[in-house]
Amino acid sequence: APRPPVLNGTLWVVAGDQVSLTCAAASHPAPIVTLARGRRVVAAAVYEPQVRLELPAAAPEDGGEYLCRAENQHGASSLAFN
């Protein structure tokens, strides 16, 4: 199963700031990594070790809980963050 995802980026953002964060997970075979806010997937990478979220200017409605999930045929792991 994929190892628990690791987040690289800042979680402290002021409205209008640019946001760039990466969620990565290691596994063999390579995972499918998705980044979701609620039930909506906002970024995905298929058979890649990481997924990137880019927001040119953060808005208050971009706040909330996100979930980074890595999965392959051996299992899944995830990391929730705000």
CB neighbours of residue 24 within 10 Å: 19
The three-class DSSP label of residue 76 is strand
Beta bridge partners of 33: 45, 70
What is the value of pTM for the model shown? 0.89
Q: Which two tokens stand for residue 47?
A: 């058979």
Local confidence pLDDT in tens for the 82 residues of the chain: 899 999 987 678 899 999 999 999 999 999 999 999 999 999 999 999 999 999 999 999 998 999 999 999 999 999 999 8
Tokens 């995802």, located at residue: 5
- The residue ranges of every structural domain in the chain are 6-81
CA angle 28, 38, 52 (to 5 degrees): 45
Question: Which architecture characterizes domain 6-81 according to CATH?
Answer: Sandwich (2.60)
**Under 8 Å CB-to-CB from 42, ≥6 apart: which residues?**
35, 36, 53, 66
